[in-house]
């Protein structure tokens, strides 16, 4: 076996390694995406442009993460830079009404089927947290149903049976389990965990309808980005019949699966939807959108004391700030006016999936890329996985992490969570490179005995 890939990669990262030593004395983790990082092989990025990242040692990577799906136009797109510069010159935060926020909200109301009104926050986590709170306030019920393997951020009600704790209880009726220490059992007890694509889930909603405020679902699960067929429609019908609000978490799918997101793509309209990523154009953002009826608890009466008593407060110093909303609005306008962007990025993702499928079959690699539109995940398995349980295993995780390491060594930045998001900045040449590097990485992983 050749030397470990982390060691080989580390040799290319001399300056990054020096920064890593500093980071260890000041930071808990050198990456915002979490503490689960290898102590070696961390490239510190100095700058990014278009589809490329450049680290402090001058290594160049094709970025296939794009801010975990945020940068649909790529790094430093002129639309983003101009909007940000223009906004910043006029001040960065007012906490007073301004027009940029209205502009972004108008674009969202026009694009999103369920959106009659919008409220802003600063992250996808805040958005799902607010949406759950609003649902409780609206219905007078406390419990939230979510799906096993579904990711909704890192607040207490989201970190239950998400991608990090798949597999407790019966497959058709999973148990709710805290993903991490520090989540109160009282919060876990308020969450009912359902299984994707199972009739039993619909039955469980009926059974618990008197305690359920809402069902939240990623309409395309980020762990397993597949089309769930009629399941979303059935979920819509059952939640309506039961007086339970339906929330689509469109933090990834919003403005990616199509301009109107998953709800426009599948023709299923939830009561509320949550947003992040693309709508901030690369600046921190979150939003909830929904019908006036569902968002009643956020609609002020104009009387402060009545609102305090009867409404639901979801304020935030930076929520809807003028820079984020100006940049986000400019990106949405661009996407609205350039619908061909979606054809292009979806086509690039399809090409990668097609060529890699052929390669994996020909070479008998148990490997596949699963995804919809311009986003996909790599999984080390064969067949068609139906549930997150088919995918989550320590062995699969190790192979996935190794795959990321080989890809990065060869100049394509695939993150540890091995999710790929294509952008308008990826050229045909970048796509050739991504395919080449995926093939080389699989061959080397096998030679090195990891696969």
Ligand X SMILES: Cc1ncc(COP(=O)(O)O)c(C=O)c1O
Residue 227 known to be catalytic: no
| Total chain residues near ligand X (CB under 6 A) | 14
148 binds ligand X (CB under 6 A): no
Nearer residue to ligand X within complex by CB, 126 or 444: 126
120 contacts 108 by C-beta, under 8 angstroms: no
276 binds ligand X (CB under 6 A): yes
Strand partners, 170: none
Q: Please list, residue by residue across 268-298, b when 16 or more beta carbons sit within 10 angstroms of its beta carbon and e when fewer do.
A: bbbbbbbbbbbbbbbbbbbbbbbbeebbebb
123 binds ligand X (CB under 6 A): yes
149 binds ligand X (CB under 6 A): no
Catalytic entry in 151, 157, 259, 334: 151
How far apart are CB 337 and ligand X at their closest, in Å? 26
Nearer residue to ligand X within complex by CB, 287 or 425: 287
38 contacts 6 by C-beta, under 8 angstroms: yes
- 332-361 mask for ligand X (x: CB under 6 A)? ------------------------------
253 HSE (CA, 13 A, CB side): 29
Q: Decide the pairing of beta strands 375-379 and 117-121.
A: unpaired
Tell me which residue of 363, 232, 387 sits closest to 249, measured CA to CA.
232
Q: Which stretch binds ligand X (CB under 6 A): 148-156, 190-198, 202-210, 392-400?
A: 148-156
Nearer residue to ligand X within complex by CB, 108 or 442: 108
Residue 57 known to be catalytic: no
Tell me which residue of 264, 152, 142, 125 sits closest to 216, measured CA to CA.
152
Segment 155 to 184, residues that bind ligand X, using CB under 6 A: none
Catalytic entry in 55, 63, 179, 249: 249
Q: Which stretch binds ligand X (CB under 6 A): 45-53, 104-112, 147-155, 201-209?
A: 147-155
Residues 122 and 346: their CA atoms lie apart, in Å, by 28
Dihedral through CA 275, CA 81, CA 61, CA 253, nearest 10?
20
Segment 203 to 262, residues that bind ligand X, using CB under 6 A: 218, 222, 249, 251-252
Segment 49 to 108, residues that bind ligand X, using CB under 6 A: 68
Nearer residue to ligand X within complex by CB, 118 or 437: 118
Phi, psi for residue 306 in degrees, rounded to 5? -65, -40
Residue of 52, 133, 143, 152 interacting with ligand X (CB under 6 A): 152
Nearer residue to ligand X within complex by CB, 163 or 177: 163
> Among all residues, whose Cβ is closest to ligand X?
124
Residues 23 and 44: their CA atoms lie apart, in Å, by 10
Residue 277 known to be catalytic: yes
Phi, psi for residue 132 in degrees, rounded to 5? -65, -40
Nearer residue to ligand X within complex by CB, 152 or 433: 152
**Residues whose CB is less than 8 angstroms from the CB of residue 235 and which lie 6 or more positions away in sequence, other chains included:** 201, 202, 205, 215, 217, 246, 268
Tokens found for residue 117: 């009104």
174 contacts 147 by C-beta, under 8 angstroms: no
How far apart are CB 65 and ligand X at their closest, in Å? 11
Nearer residue to ligand X within complex by CB, 218 or 346: 218
Q: Which stretch binds ligand X (CB under 6 A): 1-9, 39-47, 87-95, 123-131?
A: 123-131
128 binds ligand X (CB under 6 A): yes
Catalytic entry in 52, 277, 399, 433: 277
Tokens found for residue 93: 């935060």
Residues 210 and 381: their CA atoms lie apart, in Å, by 40
Q: Which residues bind ligand X (CB under 6 A)?
A: 68, 123-125, 128, 151-153, 218, 222, 249, 251-252, 276
Residues that are catalytic: 151, 249, 277
């Amino acid at each position: 076996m050749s030397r470990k890939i982390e060691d080989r990669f580390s040799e290319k990262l001399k300056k990054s390694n020096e920064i890593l030593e500093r980071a260890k004395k000041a930071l808990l983790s050198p990456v915002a995406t979490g503490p689960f990082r290898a102590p070696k092989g961390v490239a510190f990025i100095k700058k990014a442009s278009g589809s490329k990242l450049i680290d402090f040692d001058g290594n160049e990577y094709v970025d296939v993460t794009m801010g975990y799906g945020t940068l649909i136009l790529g790094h430093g797109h002129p639309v983003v830079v101009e909007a940000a510069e223009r906004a910043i010159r006029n001040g960065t935060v007012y906490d007073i009404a301004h027009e940029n926020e209205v502009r972004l909200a108008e674009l969202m109301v026009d694009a999103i089927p369920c959106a009659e009104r919008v409220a802003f926050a600063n992250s996808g986590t805040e958005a799902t947290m607010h949406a759950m709170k609003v649902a409780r306030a609206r219905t007078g019920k406390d419990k939230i149903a979510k799906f096993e393997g579904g990711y909704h951020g890192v607040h207490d009600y989201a970190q239950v049976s998400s991608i990090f704790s798949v597999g407790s209880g019966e497959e058709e009726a999973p148990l709710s389990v805290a993903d991490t220490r520090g989540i109160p059992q009282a919060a876990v007890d308020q969450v009912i965990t359902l299984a994707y694509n199972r009739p039993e889930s619909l039955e469980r909603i009926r059974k618990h309808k008197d305690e359920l405020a809402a069902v939240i679902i990623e309409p395309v699960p980020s762990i397993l980005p597949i089309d769930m067929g009629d399941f979303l429609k059935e979920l819509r019908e059952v939640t309506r019949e039961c007086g339970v609000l339906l929330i689509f978490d469109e933090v990834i799918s919003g403005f990616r699966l199509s301009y109107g997101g998953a709800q426009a793509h599948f023709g299923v309209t939830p009561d509320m939807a949550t947003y992040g990523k693309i709508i901030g154009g690369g600046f921190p953002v979150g939003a909830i959108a929904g019908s006036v009826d569902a968002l009643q608890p956020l609609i002020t009466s104009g009387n402060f004391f009545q609102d305090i008593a009867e409404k639901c407060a979801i304020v935030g110093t930076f929520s809807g700030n003028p820079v984020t909303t100006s940049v986000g609005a400019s990106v949405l306008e661009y996407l609205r006016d350039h619908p061909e962007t979606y054809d292009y990025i979806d086509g690039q993702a399809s090409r990668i999936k097609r060529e890699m499928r052929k390669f994996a079959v020909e070479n008998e690699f148990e490997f596949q890329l699963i995804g919809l539109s311009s986003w996909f995940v790599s999984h080390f398995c064969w067949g068609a996985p139906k549930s997150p349980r088919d995918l989550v295993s320590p062995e699969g995780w190790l192979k996935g992490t190794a795959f990321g390491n080989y890809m990065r060594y060869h100049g394509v930045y695939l993150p540890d969570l091995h999710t790929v998001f294509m952008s308008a900045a990826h050229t045909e040449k970048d796509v050739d490179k991504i395919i080449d590097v995926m093939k080389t990485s699989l061959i080397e992983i096998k030679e090195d005995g990891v696969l």
